[in-house]
Each structure stands twice: as C-alpha cells, then as structure tokens.
Amino acid sequence: MEKLKKCLLKLEPLKEKSKKEFYQDEYLKDIVERNLEVAIQSCIDIANRIISLIDLEKPKDYYESITILGKENILPYDFAQKFAPIAGFRNILIHEYLDIDWEEVYNNLQNIDQFYDFMDYIKKWLAQES
C-alpha cells in the first residue's frame, strides 16, 4: 500500500497539467507512465496477496485478480468490474511501450481517484478482518 500511495502522491500534482502540456513534455509523460504502471502493479500485487492469504480461487490473469475481490465482497462488485480493466492497461504500458496510447495515459492520470478508492476499500476490509 505504501508503494501505491507514493506513486499517487507523485501523480497528484501532475493531474493539473493541461493535455497540451502533457503531450509536449516527454519527461512528464515518462513520469506519469511509470508511476501509473507501478500503481497498477501495486493494486494487482495487493489483490493477489489477499487472494493467497485467504485461499481464494487462483486468478487466470491480472484482470481476474481484481474481479475476484469484487466477487468476494472485498471490493464492491461494481467497483471491481469498473476498475479491473486497469490490469490490461498495465500490460500495454509494459509490453507495448512503443505503441502507447497517450490519450489513455492522460485519461488514467485524470482518474487516479479510482486508485484512492481501491486503497480505501482494502483498508476497510482489512479493518473488518482484524
């Protein structure tokens, strides 16, 4: 969770950049891309750790890591369904880095609140479990 939080703190002030500023600044694009990648991977790692700890069905892929948490009411089901595609975006950032859709990167930057929501839901679940 700390790694996720650190990434979000780096991304938060960058949300204020205009689309024009974003597209014109290669360094800014790199910072956003990398921190989104690590934030997404952190969410996937958290999901997989929970799945392992409470012995849930093993996910077939990263997308399913998130949806399983929704099926098990660890995350609200609707939120999990809406958030899970972020796993596919992570794959694009890692594997298709030559063909990144910068519009999608910018849109995900503008929607980093979903990562805060993920953290809040996990914290609430952890509090209930202890």
pLDDT band with cut points at 50, 70 and 90 for residue 98: low
Is 49 a known active-site residue? no
- Residue 31 predicted with pLDDT over 90: yes
Catalytic status, residue 90: yes
Which candidate in 78, 95, 99, 130 is catalytic?
95
Tell me the residue ranges of DSSP E strands in the chain: none
Q: How far apart are CA 22 and CA 63, in angstroms?
A: 28
C-alpha–C-alpha distance, residues 56 and 117, integer Å: 22
Query: Which one of 39, 87, 90, 118 is the catalytic residue?
Result: 90
**pTM as predicted:** 0.94
pLDDT averaged over the chain?
A: 95
What is the reported pLDDT for 38?
97
Label residue 96 by pLDDT band (50, 70, 90). Answer: confident
Q: Are 77 and 71 in contact (CB under 8 A)?
A: yes
- How far apart CA 38 and CA 26 sit, in angstroms, is 18
Structural domains in the chain, CATH included, are: 2-129 (1.20.120.580)
Position with higher pLDDT, 48 vs 97: 48
